Each structure stands twice: as C-alpha cells, then as structure tokens.
C-alpha cells in the first residue's frame, strides 16, 4: 500500500493569515514555498483510497495526489486524529454545498464522534447520509475498508483536549509500518513508562515516524504564551534522539508552524537536523508499506 504526504504545515498552513513577518511574506511572494495543513492520502492494495484528516485545503491536496497517478475519488474513508481546526475544517466539503458525497466512513474516537454529532453543521451530514461515523476501539487495529490491505491502529496521545481527545495513528501495510503523530503536548506525557523515543517506536514496531515538529524552539513565538500551545520543540526532540543509528526508524518532522526555519531546506536548522540523520517531511513524498 502507499502513503502520500499531502500537507506538512501546522493547522494555520503556510503562509499563515495575518502574519506580515518575513517568514510568511516570502511565501506570499513565491507561492511554490507555501505548504498545506497536515494530511495523508492512503492507497490500499485494492486501489481504494483513504484520507487521514479532513483539511480545508482538500481541493489542493486532491490536486497534488491525483498529479502523482491514478486516483480513485472520492475516498472510501477519512480517519481523524483530533478536533483542532486544520485537522477537521474540511469535513463540510463532503456535503451538499460542495461534493455532495454519500456513505463516506469517518473513523474517529468516541469523543470526536460525540463532538461531530452535537455540531449542527456536521450533524446534518449524518442525517443526510453524507458521512457515517465509525467509532474505533482505542486499542486495536481496524481496516478502514474491507480488503484494503492495511490497518490503522489509534494510539492515545495527550494533547490539549478542549474539544476532543487526540490519537496518533499507526498505518501497517504488508511489509512496513508508519506512525503519524502530528500533535502532542510533551514527550514526558506521551512516553508511557521509562522509555525513550526510539525504544517507544521500537516497541510499536515502527519503521517510519512522522512526528510533531511544530516549533524549532520557543523563541519563534515570543509573542504567544507557550502554555496555550504546548508542543515539544524540535531542539528538545533532537536532544532526546541523538544521532541516527543504522537500525533506528526513519523520523520525519511535520506539522510545522509558519515561523519554523525547517520550511527552508537551506537553513542552518534544517542542515543540523539532516546532518543528525533525521528528515523533514515533504509534500508529495510517497512511502510504500
Ligand atoms: Zn494540529
Ligand atoms: Zn509567518
Ligand atoms: Zn492540535
């Protein structure tokens, strides 16, 4: 099966609305620098397609995905990690005002499902048969559609839960597995027991991990209260990881805030990360599992 990266930016996208600083001004001048909110496109061994997250930029994400080869559209299912803006704000595109789809399975946790059911603009899509909520069992794997040739396993991950809880998702194909963890509050809360990041990934048998790289360090957001938007910084994660060893999984940083120097491949920060053996997630990359 194939996993295609359809976005690597934090919820606000890049450039971000209202930011007049250099970080976003240069992406407005050169639209090839712009990036979409995190999302993955999954193609099963039976050709079925599935999305992780429902972003408002789904039209552009569809454009990117379909430019890479034959695409069975609409997708059979969506799986949602949590209810923050960029992960769910495109759900309405499935409804009558836009694509007018029907019977699209939306896999999510019980708390996400409760939120969707009590939000009028989403509830109406259930009543009209546009979406069908499928609540996952928070510990075991599920097949997003029968015969797709891969499974998804939700892993609970602590992250500001004002609206819903949050899950990382493990996608397991026939030969390899990929972890998608765009948001977390801190490593100390995510890592259960006395394990480090690499041990934790090994325990879950992960070959490729796409993890929260929102901020390079907190100096980027000196005008915001970091307790409002906690994420481990990339500098902290690199300190915990050290230099990549031969048998370590691939780690790709994603969910980048507009202020993050990792958007620029030639920045000193990007060079440092790559020199340690780790990677920056790229839109349009395809992983074969
Ligand atoms: Zn997010
Ligand atoms: Zn900016
Ligand atoms: Zn979030």
> How would DSSP label each residue in 220-242?
GGTTS-TTTS----HHHHHHHH-
- Phi, then psi, of 122 in degrees rounded to 5: -95, -35
- The neighbourhood of ligand 1, an ion, using CB within 5 A, equals 11, 84, 183
Ligand number nearest CA of 261 is 2
Q: What is the DSSP letter of 134?
A: E
Mean pLDDT of the chain: 96
Residues 6+ apart with CB under 8 A from 50: 41, 42, 43, 44, 75, 76, 77, 78, 79, 144, 145, 148
pLDDT (tens digit per residue) in 52-105: 999 999 999 999 999 999 899 999 999 999 999 999 999 999 999 999 999 999
Q: What is the DSSP letter of 214?
A: -
pLDDT (tens digit per residue) in 260-269: 999 999 999 9
DSSP string, 79-112: E-S--SHHHHTTGGGGSTTTT---SEEEEE-HHH
Ligand number nearest CA of 229 is 3
Residue 120 tokens read as: 């009028």
Nearest to 130 by CA among 167, 163, 101: 101
- Give the Cα separation of 125 and 131 in Å (integer): 6
Q: Please tell me whether residue 206 adopts helix, strand or coil conformation.
A: coil
Ligand 2 center from residue 24 Cα (angstroms): 4
**Residue 39 clears pLDDT 80, i.e. is over it:** yes
- Give the Cα separation of 261 and 264 in Å (integer): 6
- The neighbourhood of ligand 3, an ion, using CB within 5 A, equals 84, 183
Within 10 A of 192 (CB to CB), how many other CB atoms are there?
10
Ligand number nearest CA of 22 is 2
In contact, 138 and 249? CB cutoff 8 Å: no
Ligand 3 center from residue 158 Cα (angstroms): 10
pLDDT (tens digit per residue) in 162-217: 899 999 999 999 999 999 999 999 999 999 888 999 999 999 999 999 999 999 99
- Extents of the domains making up the chain: 2-288
**Residue 282 clears pLDDT 80, i.e. is over it:** yes
Ligand number nearest CA of 257 is 2
Provide the pLDDT for residue 222.
72
Provide the pLDDT for residue 161.
84
**Residue 121 clears pLDDT 80, i.e. is over it:** yes
Ligand 2 center from residue 223 Cα (angstroms): 12
Provide the pLDDT for residue 218.
87
- Give the Cα separation of 289 and 282 in Å (integer): 17
Tokens 């069908």 correspond to: 132
Provide the pLDDT for residue 247.
95
Ligand 3 center from residue 159 Cα (angstroms): 7
**Residue 159 clears pLDDT 80, i.e. is over it:** yes
**Residue 139 clears pLDDT 90, i.e. is over it:** no
- Give the Cα separation of 227 and 217 in Å (integer): 14
Q: Between β-strands 77-79 and 104-108, what pairing exists: parallel, antiparallel or unpaired?
A: parallel
**Residue 135 clears pLDDT 90, i.e. is over it:** yes
Ligand 1 center from residue 246 Cα (angstroms): 31
pLDDT (tens digit per residue) in 211-235: 999 999 988 877 777 677 788 999 9
Provide the pLDDT for residue 126.
98
CATH no. of 2-288: 3.60.15.10
Ligand 1 center from residue 10 Cα (angstroms): 5
pLDDT (tens digit per residue) in 244-259: 999 999 999 999 999 9
Ligand number nearest CA of 53 is 1
């Amino acid at each position: 099966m194939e996993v295609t990266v359809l976005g690597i930016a934090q919820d606000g996208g890049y450039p971000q609305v209202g930011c007049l600083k250099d970080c976003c001004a240069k992406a407005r001048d050169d639209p090839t620098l712009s990036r979409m909110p995190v999302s993955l496109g999954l193609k099963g061994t039976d050709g079925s397609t599935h999305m992780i997250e429902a972003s408002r930029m789904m039209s552009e994400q569809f454009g990117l995905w379909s430019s890479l080869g034959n695409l069975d559209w609409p997708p059979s299912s969506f799986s949602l990690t949590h209810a923050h803006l960029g992960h769910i704000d495109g759900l309405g595109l499935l409804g009558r005002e836009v694509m007018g789809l029907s019977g699209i399975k939306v896999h999510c946790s019980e708390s996400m499902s409760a939120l969707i059911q009590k939000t009028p603009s989403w509830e109406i899509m259930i009543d009209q048969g546009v979406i069908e909520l499928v609540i996952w069992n928070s510990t075991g794997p599920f097949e997003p559609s029968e015969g797709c040739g891969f499974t998804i396993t939700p892993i609970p991950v602590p992250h500001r839960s004002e609206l819903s809880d949050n899950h990382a998702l493990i996608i397991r194909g026939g030969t390899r597995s990929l972890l998608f963890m765009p948001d977390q509050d801190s490593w100390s809360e995510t890592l259960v027991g006395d394990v480090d990041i690499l041990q934790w990934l090994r325990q879950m048998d992960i070959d490729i991990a796409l993890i929260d790289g929102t901020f390079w360090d907190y100096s980027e957001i000196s005008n915001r209260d970091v307790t409002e938007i906690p994420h481990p910084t990339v500098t902290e994660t690199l300190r915990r990881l050290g230099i990549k060893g031969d048998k370590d999984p691939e780690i790709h940083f994603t969910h980048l805030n507009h202020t993050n120097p990792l958007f620029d491949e030639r920045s000193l920060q990007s060079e440092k990360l790559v020199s340690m053996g780790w990677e920056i997630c790229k839109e349009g990359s395809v992983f074969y599992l």
